[in-house]
Chains A and B, each alone.
Chain A
Amino acid sequence: QKEVEQDPGPLSVPEGAIVSLNCTYSNSAFQYFMWYRQYSRKGPELLMYTYSSGNKEDGRFTAQVDKSSKYISLFIRDSQPSDSATYLCAMTGSSNTGKLIFGQGTTLQVKP
């Protein structure tokens, strides 16, 4: 079993839809949670960073962490065609080795 599970999709939604992207994990030591967006043939871009449990909002993006369920989510409101990309969740624990554990990435397509 992988430490971090993420459905690779692809996920296709119409423009304006609310998108929900999710990851589950098995290591209860994880405390730092990130979402990266990666456009085709580009490097990953940090979208959201959350420490421990709770919600964080930034514009159209909301990140949620539920440590009791070992489940994290990224919500995108009013999705746009420019949101079409691969979304990677990543996490690490308090041991702070610098090593991120990534999910497989979910490919999202937002159709005009």
Chain B
Amino acid sequence: DTEVTQTPKHLVMGMTNKKSLKCEQHMGHRAMYWYKQKAKKPPELMFVYSYEKLSINESVPSRFSPECPNSSLLNLHLHALQPEDSALYLCASSQLDRGLYTDTQYFGPGTRLTVL
């Protein structure tokens, strides 16, 4: 099973709201990723977690707050977003082999976020 699930599928929020995106995988992967994708653009890396610890933050604004509560779950907490943050948010996961990333990343279907 190479499935990464994401909820919700769609989310509409105002600029003052607080919401969370959720991602889950049961492949035993120990690396998990958040990406942002705008229309007709490739995914842009936001965060990388390895062994439940944040290892890469690609200078993402603090209104995006990631959390990895356990090896299967990844959350992205959203607060005070701007309309330009509207995008498809993708979660991905991959194996870690003795701390090294195996670069086959499996993506979830994404959450389509609209900020009004």
> How many Å lie between the Cα of A112 and that of B95 in the bound state?
39
Does A60 interact with chain B (Cβ within 8 Å)? no
With both chains docked as a complex, state the minimum distance between the C-beta of A47 and any C-beta of chain B, in angstroms: 11
Is the beta-carbon distance between A98 and B101 smaller than 8 angstroms?
yes
Is the beta-carbon distance between A44 and B56 smaller than 8 angstroms?
no
Question: A98-B48, A104-B41 given as contacts; is B107 within 8 A of A43 (CB)?
Answer: yes
Is the beta-carbon distance between B101 and A97 smaller than 8 angstroms?
yes
> How many Å lie between the Cα of A96 and that of B104 in the bound state?
11
Does B31 interact with chain A (Cβ within 8 Å)? yes
What are 20 A-B contacts defined by CB distance under 8 Å?
A32-B103, A34-B103, A34-B105, A41-B110, A43-B6, A43-B90, A43-B110, A46-B105, A49-B104, A97-B56, A98-B33, A98-B56, A98-B101, A99-B45, A99-B56, A100-B45, A100-B103, A100-B105, A102-B42, A104-B41
Interface residues, chain B, with chain A CB atoms under 8 Å away: 4, 6, 31, 33, 40-43, 45, 48, 50, 55-56, 88, 90, 94, 100-101, 103-110, 112
Interface of B is mostly: strand
- B6, B42, B48, B104: the one within 8 Å of A104 (CB): B42
> How many Å lie between the Cα of A34 and that of B109 in the bound state?
18
> How many Å lie between the Cα of A8 and that of B42 in the bound state?
11
With both chains docked as a complex, state the minimum distance between the C-beta of A111 and any C-beta of chain B, in angstroms: 20
Q: Which residue of B lies closest to A89 (CB)?
A: B42
Question: A100-B103, A105-B42 given as contacts; is B110 within 8 A of A42 (CB)?
Answer: yes
With both chains docked as a complex, state the minimum distance between the C-beta of B56 and any C-beta of chain A, in angstroms: 7
B residues within 8 A CB of A34?
103-105
A residues within 8 A CB of B105?
34, 46, 100
Is the beta-carbon distance between A96 and B112 smaller than 8 angstroms?
no
**Chain A, range 82-112, C-beta contacts under 8 Å to B:** 88, 92, 96-100, 102-105
A residues within 8 A CB of B48?
97-99
Question: A41-B112, A43-B107, A43-B108 given as contacts; is B101 within 8 A of A96 (CB)?
Answer: yes
